[in-house]
Chains A and B, each alone.
Chain A
Amino acid sequence: MTDGWPEVGDGGTRRTAADGGADVREQFRPDDHSNDHFLLTTVVGSYPKPKWLNRAEELVEDDEYDFGEDHLTEAHDDAARLITREHERAGLDVVVDGEMRRNEMVEYFAHRIDGYEFNGPVKVWGHNYFDKPSVVDEVSYGEQWLVEEFEFTDGVASHPVKVPITGPYTLANWSFNEHYDDEETLAYELADLVNEEVEALVEAGARYIQIDEPALATTPDDHAIVGECLERIVEDVPADVRLGLHVCYGDYSRIYPEVLDFPVHEFDLELANGEYEQVPVFQDPEFTKDLALGVVDAHTAEVEPVEVIKENIKKGFEIVPPERLTISPDCGLKLLPRDVAYGKTRNMVQAVREVEAELDAGEIDVGFAAAPADD
């Protein structure tokens, strides 16, 4: 189409997710929301586990105790209920269960996919490790991944539930590949498995799915592979399912603006850790997706005061207008002490509600939140 008009057959409503046509945000506004403005509050996913859950996970490995898989499942249920409600108590609009059943974002899935083996933990940074798996055979769908987790959380939550799922590129890139000729092939094989899982989640009622692709920041030159993986994932996903992509700890200038072509509604970005130095990256060309802005640092043990978080939130208006801004922490909070994680989440929500009220009152005058000048 060279004259600006769509070709025949090209103009109708697209049937797949992330075409940007459906308003997939408004469904998450709480009925009793107190402000006209609505900055959707959520979390990236992981949250510190209660100490007793860590203990339960040790006990199940220990033959000396009569503590079996059934007991552990009950402990996971209790923890998922507890953290889901803790998120609701903090006031989040969209909650998760803090990934209580998951040990780590790659390991959890690799244990459920046939073709993987484990050799032991490797360093990520400092004293943070993960049991990086090796792909030693063709990958295929093993046991269920997340449907049971979603159904349980959705059953105990009174707020909408988001499902974070590790993306295929990260599952490929953060594994040792001993089997496939190249990582790209492995990533596409895994993308088809993720697509299968996302369809099952949607079938179970999930309306907000976040694909976690931190590895995109690791190897930014591979953004086209991630794009192709996402195309495979969103195939046949209905348009009213909100799809986010979480990326963190990288040089975003190396993936922007290419990522704007990805078939998702929202990008969830870590920016507080770098004190918003990378905001200008997203200003030119214009950011055309929704932005989920990290406003609290996931790796400092001090709870940021509400006033500080409010200033961080306003950084978001330098990229998108309020109706396209989601607020979340930089990344999963699981490495923090639980009281700190809760304090950060609670202060974050309070800061958002205050910013919304100030937006309603026309008191914020920055970036895309600036009141339009009177003619």
Chain B
Amino acid sequence: MTELVATTPGLLPLPDWAKGELSDLKGHQKSDLIDGTEGEAVTEAYDRVRAEELDWQTEAGLDRVVGGQARWDDNIAHPLSMADAVDTRGIVRYYDNNNFYREPVVVGELTATGDVAAELDATAEALDDGAGDLQAVLPGPYSLADLATDEQYGDEAAFLDAVADFLVDEVEQFPDVATLFLLEPSLVENPPEAGIDERAGAAIDRVATATEADVVCHTYWGAVPEKPYAHLMDADLDAVGFDFVSDHEANLYNITEYGTTDDIALGLVDGQNTRVEGVETVRERVEWVGEQIPAQSFDTTYLTANTELFYLPVNRAREKLAVLARAAAGEEEVTA
């Protein structure tokens, strides 16, 4: 019998009070965004945000909780934006969304900053007794390299390796966490070509093996093409995450054709639509996936939103957290 674990890919929406307060404290321009040198007032505001977002997750009953990544102004490109060897330039589109991040341009030798580790330390400290276990969130090396521009390493392969080394050094500074979600939407949105696909799998493997935590490599906005998926299977991962909201058929094809990890993460709740899924619907989809893959039983099945949650207004994001938790716990519909 598989254990159902409710979690999210992180990057929660800011509470509405914080949207105004942080906007007033920081400003609206490109240069006003987080660069790792924020002052006391901003730090203190983010501490309150983190505490509140932990409360949301605990109240919802999630099995894994995240720090919320509220400081990640540049979305999953955030870890690079913090690095000394990176210039943040014009705002560029974040995948095919109405969202933007500052283009991180790597202009020198990348060295880890410990920024994400420090956030995790603060999160660990803020955790209440009743909370779920701590989950770290990072961009996977392929997506992070894909979102950035290289002016230092010269070719795609060398740059990917450098970004992987950078992430390994970041992970090695982490406190103990139960789970690490490595977000790899670029494997779907801008899949690696022949030659790079194998290297992407190897890069993900190196980051995954830098921690004792259970590592989930989460993919979304469709399905990873076959070859890169096959190479992803070579990485030492506990689970791969699949976006069953946007393309269940192609993801199921990958799983049945190439197999998958011992654990699995199912993106079953839409992180980009306010329509709230029913608890029963989510449970039925879990069962459906199980039926489609009779050859394999998973030790752990993570139930998650397909994407980050910052696309949603707070009320709907929180309702979806509750749906995931209740679906995993086998509880009934959320009643108002």
Q: How many residues of B contact A (CB 8 A)?
A: 37
Bound: A251/B26 CA distance, A = 29
Whether A178 contacts B274 by the Cβ 8 Å rule is: yes
Picked from A123, A176, A249, the residue with its CB within 8 Å of the CB of B93 is: A249
A335-349 interface bits toward B, Cβ cutoff 8 Å, 1 = contact, 0 = none? 100000000000000
Whether A134 contacts B274 by the Cβ 8 Å rule is: yes
Report A-chain residues with C-beta under 8 Å of the C-beta of B33. Answer: 126
A209-225 interface bits toward B, Cβ cutoff 8 Å, 1 = contact, 0 = none? 00000110111110000
Bound: A335/B101 CA distance, A = 16
Report B-chain residues with C-beta under 8 Å of the C-beta of A301. Answer: 29, 31
Known interface pairs A119-B274, A123-B310, A176-B273; A218-B97 also in contact (CB < 8 Å): yes
Please classify the interface of chain B as helix (H, G, I), strand (E, B), loop, or mixed, using the class held by over half of its residues. Answer: loop
Known interface pairs A120-B314, A178-B273, A274-B90; A214-B32 also in contact (CB < 8 Å): no
Report B-chain residues with C-beta under 8 Å of the C-beta of A275. Answer: 90
Whether B92 contacts A122 by the Cβ 8 Å rule is: no
Whether B93 contacts A121 by the Cβ 8 Å rule is: no
Picked from A215, A221, A274, the residue with its CB within 8 Å of the CB of B98 is: A215
CB distance from A315 to the nearest CB of B (A): 16
Q: Is A373 an interface residue (CB 8 A)?
A: no
A249-303 interface (Cβ within 8 A of B): 249-251, 273-275, 299-301
Report A-chain residues with C-beta under 8 Å of the C-beta of B231. Answer: none
Whether B90 contacts A273 by the Cβ 8 Å rule is: yes
Whether B29 contacts A125 by the Cβ 8 Å rule is: no
Whether B273 contacts A121 by the Cβ 8 Å rule is: no
B253-297 interface (Cβ within 8 A of A): 272-275
Which one of B15-23, B106-114, B138-146 is at the A interface?
Answer: B15-23
The chain B residue with its CB closest to the CB of A121 is B19
Picked from A122, A176, A219, the residue with its CB within 8 Å of the CB of B13 is: A122
Whether B275 contacts A300 by the Cβ 8 Å rule is: no
Whether A218 contacts B93 by the Cβ 8 Å rule is: yes
CB distance from B148 to the nearest CB of A (A): 16
Q: Is A141 an interface residue (CB 8 A)?
A: no
Whether A120 contacts B28 by the Cβ 8 Å rule is: no
Please classify the interface of chain A as helix (H, G, I), strand (E, B), loop, or mixed, using the class held by over half of its residues. Answer: loop
Known interface pairs A218-B93, A218-B97; A122-B313 also in contact (CB < 8 Å): yes
Report B-chain residues with C-beta under 8 Å of the C-beta of A177. Answer: 273
Whether A119 contacts B273 by the Cβ 8 Å rule is: no
Q: Is B315 an interface residue (CB 8 A)?
A: yes
Q: Is B43 an interface residue (CB 8 A)?
A: no
Q: Is B91 an interface residue (CB 8 A)?
A: yes
The chain A residue with its CB closest to the CB of B97 is A218
Bound: A215/B96 CA distance, A = 9
CB distance from A118 to the nearest CB of B (A): 8
Picked from B22, B28, B93, B313, the residue with its CB within 8 Å of the CB of A251 is: B93
Q: Is A108 an interface residue (CB 8 A)?
A: no
The chain B residue with its CB closest to the CB of A274 is B90
Q: Which 9 A-B pairs have the closest CB atoms?
A: A120-B313, A125-B100, A127-B23, A119-B313, A176-B274, A178-B275, A134-B274, A273-B90, A126-B33
20 extra interface residue pairs, beta carbon distance < 8 Å, beyond A126-B29, A300-B29: A121-B313, A122-B313, A123-B99, A123-B311, A125-B99, A126-B100, A127-B28, A129-B19, A134-B274, A134-B275, A173-B98, A176-B274, A176-B275, A177-B273, A178-B273, A220-B96, A249-B91, A249-B92, A249-B100, A300-B31
